[in-house]
Amino acid sequence: MADPWLEAYNFAIEIAKKAGAEIRRASESEIRICTKSSTVDLVTATDVRVEKIIIGALKEKFGDDVHCFIGEESASKKGACILTDEPTWIIDPVDGTTNFVHGFPFVAVSIAFAVNKELEFGVVYSCFEDKLYKGRKGQGAYCDEESIQVSDNKEITKSVIISEFGTDRTPSKVQKICNTMKRIIEIPVHGIRGTGTAATNMCMVARGAVEAFFEIGIHCWDVAAGAVIVQEAGGIVCDVDGGPFDLMSRRMMCANHPDIANRVIKEIEIFPSDRDDAE
Ligand code: IPD
Protein backbone atom coordinates (compact mmCIF):
# COMPACT_ATOMS: atom_id res chain seq x y z
CA MET A 1 0.00 0.00 0.00
CA ALA A 2 1.26 3.47 -0.82
CA ASP A 3 2.60 5.38 2.19
CA PRO A 4 -0.30 7.73 3.08
CA TRP A 5 1.66 10.28 5.13
CA LEU A 6 5.05 10.39 3.39
CA GLU A 7 4.27 13.62 1.58
CA ALA A 8 3.10 15.24 4.82
CA TYR A 9 6.25 14.06 6.63
CA ASN A 10 8.58 15.43 3.97
CA PHE A 11 6.67 18.69 3.85
CA ALA A 12 6.88 19.04 7.66
CA ILE A 13 10.68 18.75 7.43
CA GLU A 14 10.82 21.37 4.69
CA ILE A 15 8.54 23.83 6.48
CA ALA A 16 10.32 23.35 9.85
CA LYS A 17 13.60 24.37 8.22
CA LYS A 18 11.99 27.40 6.57
CA ALA A 19 10.44 28.43 9.88
CA GLY A 20 13.79 28.01 11.63
CA ALA A 21 15.49 30.26 9.08
CA GLU A 22 12.81 32.88 9.75
CA ILE A 23 13.48 32.63 13.53
CA ARG A 24 17.23 33.07 12.96
CA ARG A 25 16.58 36.15 10.81
CA ALA A 26 14.17 37.59 13.38
CA SER A 27 16.72 37.11 16.19
CA GLU A 28 18.92 39.71 14.52
CA SER A 29 16.37 42.52 14.85
CA GLU A 30 14.71 44.02 17.90
CA ILE A 31 12.48 41.53 19.74
CA ARG A 32 9.26 42.93 21.19
CA ILE A 33 7.83 40.89 24.05
CA CYS A 34 4.25 40.38 25.28
CA THR A 35 3.09 38.01 28.03
CA LYS A 36 0.38 35.30 28.08
CA SER A 37 -0.67 33.24 31.11
CA SER A 38 1.82 34.93 33.49
CA THR A 39 4.53 37.60 33.47
CA VAL A 40 7.11 34.92 32.63
CA ASP A 41 5.06 33.23 29.87
CA LEU A 42 6.44 35.18 26.91
CA VAL A 43 5.30 35.58 23.34
CA THR A 44 6.83 37.64 20.54
CA ALA A 45 5.68 38.79 17.12
CA THR A 46 7.97 36.06 15.74
CA ASP A 47 6.00 33.28 17.50
CA VAL A 48 2.79 34.56 15.92
CA ARG A 49 4.28 35.20 12.48
CA VAL A 50 6.11 31.86 12.27
CA GLU A 51 2.97 29.98 13.31
CA LYS A 52 1.05 31.78 10.55
CA ILE A 53 3.75 30.85 8.03
CA ILE A 54 3.67 27.17 9.05
CA ILE A 55 -0.12 26.80 9.21
CA GLY A 56 -0.56 28.88 6.03
CA ALA A 57 1.84 26.61 4.12
CA LEU A 58 0.20 23.44 5.47
CA LYS A 59 -3.29 24.67 4.60
CA GLU A 60 -2.19 25.63 1.10
CA LYS A 61 -0.65 22.19 0.58
CA PHE A 62 -3.24 19.96 2.27
CA GLY A 63 -6.37 22.12 2.65
CA ASP A 64 -8.13 22.85 5.93
CA ASP A 65 -11.28 20.90 5.10
CA VAL A 66 -9.64 17.58 5.98
CA HIS A 67 -6.66 18.54 8.13
CA CYS A 68 -7.00 20.16 11.58
CA PHE A 69 -4.51 22.39 13.34
CA ILE A 70 -3.51 22.91 16.96
CA GLY A 71 -0.95 25.70 17.14
CA GLU A 72 0.43 27.23 20.34
CA GLU A 73 -0.40 30.82 19.45
CA SER A 74 -3.82 30.21 17.87
CA ALA A 75 -4.73 27.89 20.78
CA SER A 76 -3.91 30.53 23.39
CA LYS A 77 -6.68 32.69 21.88
CA LYS A 78 -9.18 29.87 21.30
CA GLY A 79 -9.26 28.07 24.66
CA ALA A 80 -9.60 24.27 24.70
CA CYS A 81 -7.62 22.15 22.22
CA ILE A 82 -9.69 19.22 21.11
CA LEU A 83 -7.85 16.36 19.42
CA THR A 84 -10.20 14.49 17.10
CA ASP A 85 -9.68 11.47 14.81
CA GLU A 86 -9.04 13.79 11.85
CA PRO A 87 -5.47 14.23 10.60
CA THR A 88 -4.18 16.94 12.94
CA TRP A 89 -1.03 19.07 12.94
CA ILE A 90 0.25 20.05 16.39
CA ILE A 91 2.65 22.96 16.17
CA ASP A 92 4.92 24.97 18.42
CA PRO A 93 6.44 27.59 16.11
CA VAL A 94 9.03 28.79 18.65
CA ASP A 95 9.63 26.32 21.47
CA GLY A 96 11.95 28.16 23.82
CA THR A 97 10.52 31.66 23.48
CA THR A 98 12.37 32.81 26.62
CA ASN A 99 15.63 31.56 25.10
CA PHE A 100 14.80 33.37 21.86
CA VAL A 101 14.19 36.62 23.75
CA HIS A 102 17.44 36.31 25.71
CA GLY A 103 19.67 35.02 22.92
CA PHE A 104 20.16 31.65 24.65
CA PRO A 105 20.81 29.50 21.60
CA PHE A 106 18.29 26.66 22.02
CA VAL A 107 15.11 27.35 20.13
CA ALA A 108 13.13 24.72 18.25
CA VAL A 109 10.34 24.51 15.73
CA SER A 110 8.18 21.54 16.72
CA ILE A 111 5.73 19.96 14.29
CA ALA A 112 3.81 16.75 14.95
CA PHE A 113 1.08 14.97 13.01
CA ALA A 114 -1.61 12.76 14.53
CA VAL A 115 -4.27 10.58 12.89
CA ASN A 116 -7.02 8.83 14.88
CA LYS A 117 -5.46 10.50 17.95
CA GLU A 118 -2.22 8.61 17.36
CA LEU A 119 1.02 10.41 16.64
CA GLU A 120 2.32 9.45 13.19
CA PHE A 121 5.48 11.58 13.05
CA GLY A 122 7.34 14.40 14.73
CA VAL A 123 9.88 16.91 13.48
CA VAL A 124 11.95 19.15 15.76
CA TYR A 125 14.29 21.68 14.18
CA SER A 126 16.79 23.15 16.64
CA CYS A 127 17.32 26.21 14.53
CA PHE A 128 20.41 27.85 16.05
CA GLU A 129 22.27 24.53 16.16
CA ASP A 130 20.92 23.74 12.69
CA LYS A 131 20.00 20.18 13.70
CA LEU A 132 16.85 18.52 12.49
CA TYR A 133 15.43 15.68 14.57
CA LYS A 134 12.69 13.50 13.12
CA GLY A 135 10.82 10.34 13.98
CA ARG A 136 8.12 8.38 12.21
CA LYS A 137 6.00 5.65 13.72
CA GLY A 138 7.76 2.33 13.06
CA GLN A 139 10.57 3.91 11.05
CA GLY A 140 13.16 5.07 13.57
CA ALA A 141 14.49 8.41 14.72
CA TYR A 142 17.16 10.56 13.14
CA CYS A 143 19.23 13.66 13.76
CA ASP A 144 19.73 15.01 10.26
CA GLU A 145 20.43 11.78 8.37
CA GLU A 146 22.02 9.91 11.27
CA SER A 147 20.00 7.30 13.15
CA ILE A 148 19.76 8.06 16.88
CA GLN A 149 19.17 5.85 19.92
CA VAL A 150 18.54 6.47 23.60
CA SER A 151 21.29 5.81 26.14
CA ASP A 152 21.71 2.18 27.27
CA ASN A 153 22.59 3.20 30.84
CA LYS A 154 20.13 1.80 33.39
CA GLU A 155 21.92 3.03 36.51
CA ILE A 156 20.24 6.08 37.96
CA THR A 157 23.44 7.15 39.76
CA LYS A 158 25.18 7.41 36.38
CA SER A 159 22.36 9.42 34.79
CA VAL A 160 21.69 12.99 33.77
CA ILE A 161 18.08 14.09 34.15
CA ILE A 162 16.36 17.10 32.59
CA SER A 163 13.53 19.04 34.12
CA GLU A 164 12.33 22.64 33.88
CA PHE A 165 10.57 25.17 36.08
CA GLY A 166 8.05 26.08 33.34
CA THR A 167 6.02 29.27 33.42
CA ASP A 168 3.72 28.89 36.44
CA ARG A 169 5.20 30.62 39.48
CA THR A 170 2.46 29.74 41.99
CA PRO A 171 4.53 29.40 45.20
CA SER A 172 3.15 25.96 46.14
CA LYS A 173 4.01 24.61 42.65
CA VAL A 174 7.49 26.16 42.64
CA GLN A 175 8.05 24.57 46.06
CA LYS A 176 7.09 21.14 44.77
CA ILE A 177 9.40 21.51 41.75
CA CYS A 178 12.29 22.55 44.04
CA ASN A 179 11.60 19.61 46.37
CA THR A 180 11.59 17.24 43.38
CA MET A 181 14.85 18.64 41.97
CA LYS A 182 16.49 18.34 45.43
CA ARG A 183 15.35 14.75 45.82
CA ILE A 184 16.66 13.81 42.38
CA ILE A 185 20.05 15.50 42.73
CA GLU A 186 20.45 13.78 46.11
CA ILE A 187 19.84 10.26 44.71
CA PRO A 188 22.57 11.21 43.54
CA VAL A 189 22.49 11.57 39.75
CA HIS A 190 25.37 12.90 37.69
CA GLY A 191 23.47 16.11 37.02
CA ILE A 192 20.24 17.95 36.29
CA ARG A 193 20.07 19.96 33.08
CA GLY A 194 17.54 21.90 31.01
CA THR A 195 17.76 23.52 27.58
CA GLY A 196 14.66 25.72 28.00
CA THR A 197 12.78 23.97 25.21
CA ALA A 198 10.78 20.84 25.91
CA ALA A 199 11.08 19.66 22.31
CA THR A 200 14.88 19.89 22.42
CA ASN A 201 14.95 18.28 25.87
CA MET A 202 13.12 15.28 24.42
CA CYS A 203 15.60 15.11 21.55
CA MET A 204 18.40 15.02 24.15
CA VAL A 205 16.77 11.88 25.58
CA ALA A 206 16.36 10.47 22.06
CA ARG A 207 20.00 10.98 21.16
CA GLY A 208 21.29 9.50 24.44
CA ALA A 209 22.74 12.72 25.88
CA VAL A 210 20.57 12.39 29.01
CA GLU A 211 18.53 9.53 30.44
CA ALA A 212 15.21 11.25 31.21
CA PHE A 213 13.17 14.44 30.98
CA PHE A 214 9.93 15.21 32.76
CA GLU A 215 7.78 18.27 33.30
CA ILE A 216 4.36 19.16 34.66
CA GLY A 217 2.71 22.16 32.99
CA ILE A 218 3.99 21.67 29.45
CA HIS A 219 1.46 21.76 26.59
CA CYS A 220 0.65 19.28 23.82
CA TRP A 221 2.54 21.38 21.25
CA ASP A 222 5.72 21.27 23.39
CA VAL A 223 5.86 17.46 23.52
CA ALA A 224 3.92 15.94 20.60
CA ALA A 225 6.79 15.82 18.09
CA GLY A 226 9.36 14.86 20.73
CA ALA A 227 7.19 11.96 21.91
CA VAL A 228 7.46 10.21 18.54
CA ILE A 229 11.18 10.92 18.31
CA VAL A 230 11.90 9.47 21.78
CA GLN A 231 9.80 6.35 21.16
CA GLU A 232 11.37 5.76 17.76
CA ALA A 233 14.82 6.12 19.33
CA GLY A 234 13.93 3.22 21.65
CA GLY A 235 12.80 5.21 24.68
CA ILE A 236 9.52 5.40 26.57
CA VAL A 237 7.04 8.20 27.10
CA CYS A 238 4.62 8.02 30.02
CA ASP A 239 2.83 10.06 32.64
CA VAL A 240 4.73 11.53 35.60
CA ASP A 241 2.98 8.91 37.78
CA GLY A 242 4.09 6.06 35.50
CA GLY A 243 0.69 5.65 33.82
CA PRO A 244 0.09 5.94 30.08
CA PHE A 245 1.12 9.15 28.32
CA ASP A 246 -1.81 11.48 27.70
CA LEU A 247 -0.96 14.23 25.20
CA MET A 248 -3.53 16.66 26.61
CA SER A 249 -2.69 16.12 30.30
CA ARG A 250 0.13 18.69 30.49
CA ARG A 251 2.30 16.06 32.21
CA MET A 252 5.07 14.10 30.57
CA MET A 253 7.96 11.83 31.49
CA CYS A 254 10.26 10.34 28.87
CA ALA A 255 13.26 8.14 29.45
CA ASN A 256 15.70 5.73 27.89
CA HIS A 257 14.40 2.83 30.01
CA PRO A 258 11.50 2.06 32.40
CA ASP A 259 13.98 1.47 35.29
CA ILE A 260 15.22 5.05 35.01
CA ALA A 261 11.71 6.47 34.56
CA ASN A 262 10.37 4.58 37.59
CA ARG A 263 13.26 5.62 39.81
CA VAL A 264 12.79 9.31 38.91
CA ILE A 265 9.01 9.02 39.28
CA LYS A 266 9.50 7.98 42.94
CA GLU A 267 10.92 11.43 43.62
CA ILE A 268 8.39 13.58 41.72
CA GLU A 269 6.02 15.68 43.81
CA ILE A 270 3.03 15.96 41.50
CA PHE A 271 0.89 19.11 41.45
CA PRO A 272 -2.37 19.78 39.57
CA SER A 273 -2.36 21.34 36.13
CA ASP A 274 -5.39 22.16 33.93
CA ARG A 275 -5.65 19.93 30.86
CA ASP A 276 -5.13 21.35 27.35
CA ASP A 277 -8.55 20.04 26.35
CA ALA A 278 -10.38 21.48 29.39
CA GLU A 279 -13.37 23.58 28.25
C1 IPD B 1 8.19 26.32 26.94
C2 IPD B 1 9.44 25.48 26.84
C3 IPD B 1 10.04 25.24 28.20
C4 IPD B 1 9.05 24.61 29.15
C5 IPD B 1 7.78 25.42 29.23
C6 IPD B 1 7.20 25.64 27.84
P7 IPD B 1 7.45 27.86 24.84
O8 IPD B 1 7.59 26.44 25.66
O9 IPD B 1 9.18 24.26 26.20
O10 IPD B 1 11.13 24.36 28.12
O11 IPD B 1 9.62 24.55 30.44
O12 IPD B 1 6.87 24.70 30.05
O13 IPD B 1 6.04 26.44 27.95
O14 IPD B 1 6.49 28.67 25.65
O15 IPD B 1 8.79 28.45 24.79
O16 IPD B 1 6.90 27.43 23.54
What pLDDT, in 10s, does the model give residues 91-117?
A: 999 999 999 999 999 999 999 999 999
- Indicate whether 1 pLDDT > 70: no
Please list, residue by residue across 126-152, b when 16 or more beta carbons sit within 10 angstroms of its beta carbon and e when fewer do: bbbeebbbbbbbeeebbbeeeebebbe
User: How confident is the model over 11-16, as a mean pLDDT?
Assistant: 98
CA 92 to ligand 1: nearest atom: 16
CA 222 to ligand 1: nearest atom: 9
pLDDT, tens digit (0-9, with 9 covering 90-100), for 114-151: 999 999 999 999 999 999 999 999 999 999 999 999 99
Nearest CA to ligand 1 atom 15: 96
CA 218 to ligand 1: nearest atom: 12
CA of 192 to the centre of ligand 1 (A): 17
- Indicate whether 255 pLDDT > 90: yes
Which protein residues are within 6 Å of ligand 1, measured from CB? 72, 92, 95-97, 164, 166-167, 196-198, 215, 217-218, 222
- Indicate whether 8 pLDDT > 80: yes
pLDDT, tens digit (0-9, with 9 covering 90-100), for 40-77: 999 999 999 999 999 999 999 998 888 999 999 888 77
Question: What is the structure's pLDDT at 138?
Answer: 97
CA of 196 to the centre of ligand 1 (A): 6
- Indicate whether 79 pLDDT > 90: no
Peptide bond into 4 cis (omega under 30): no
